[in-house]
A = this chain, B = another copy of it.
């Protein structure tokens, strides 16, 4: 077996990748997610794209191990997408339908978990068997990898570390309905929320008052430039995230935390500050857990999806 495909199904675009089974990315491209007609075009579109690529590259179909995919929300062992956000599917048997359409084996998982597998296969967690991969964007989730496999949990909700309770002062509710979740502070949304609140409720001098738009990047950049008000916000972000990592380390004892997602563009300064708070809160037995940045960026999903079909039986 020489090739495999990875497909990352999002609400706006679908990312596709052709890989060798050794993990070399040979080609990647995107197609639009056509959500009209109850999202019924999505899987035929993916099948057409993959079969077209096989033809274009002159690949023997027998040399393709299969197709891996990731979607938002829970995905069962059999590759049924339960209720992916931004897609009009309920209990969609993605693996079965995509396999029927292409004649290739198919497996899938939740997009956060699949991206974690990608980082473990060829990214920041390469060589580790016990890792926690945390993409930080609008929200905070985690792929919990134990002995080389992602833990899904009893209801597909393992890794919801963004909803560990950390704050007793905030009054607004989190998207999940609780009040005081990590995600309300330690996400792109959290940075913007805290910054806007500070701008409205105080008259502190800060670079953020001159920003065209208060974005997560603007807050991080201002903090890096020595802006005290912005740094306090960035510090709270890192404090609560470090705390949630410390609790996670007590529960599952990983070797490494990998920070990814849009906010990870802040770079090593983010990793260092989160790790400092992690060491403050974690019990001494696990103070030496490693920290690193994710390496695959937006490609982590296609890498991880592709890795799921290696060694699959036809």
Contacts and interface: CB of A to CB of B under 8 A. Distances in A.
B154 A130 contact: yes
A143 to B, nearest CB: 12
Given A130-B153, A151-B146, A247-B247, A163 B285 contact: yes
Nearest to A284: B177
A284 B159 CA distance: 15
A165 B243 contact: yes
A126 to B, nearest CB: 15
Interface in A151-195: 151-161, 163-165, 174, 176-178, 181
A227 interface: no
B243 A285 contact: no
A199 to B, nearest CB: 29
Interface in A227-254: 243, 246-248, 250-254
A281 interface: yes
Contacts of A129: 154
A286 interface: yes
A165 B153 CA distance: 24
A246 B176 CA distance: 14
B285 A158 contact: no
A295 interface: no
A13 interface: no
B153 A246 contact: no
A123 to B, nearest CB: 18
Given A130-B154, A146-B146, A251 B283 contact: no
A255 interface: yes
A144 interface: yes
B247 A160 contact: no
A142 B247 CA distance: 13
A286 B159 contact: no
A154 B249 CA distance: 10
Given A163-B283, A177-B284, A285-B176, A157 B247 contact: no
A161 to B, nearest CB: 6
A154 B254 contact: yes
A252 B158 contact: yes
Nearest to A159: B251
Given A177-B283, A178-B282, 7 more contacts: A142-B251, A155-B285, A163-B283, A165-B243, A176-B283, A248-B251, A252-B252
5 pairs of A and B residues whose beta carbons are closest in the complex: A153-B253, A163-B283, A130-B154, A158-B253, A177-B284
9 contacts: A146-B151, A151-B252, A152-B253, A153-B252, A153-B254, A159-B253, A161-B251, A176-B285, A251-B251
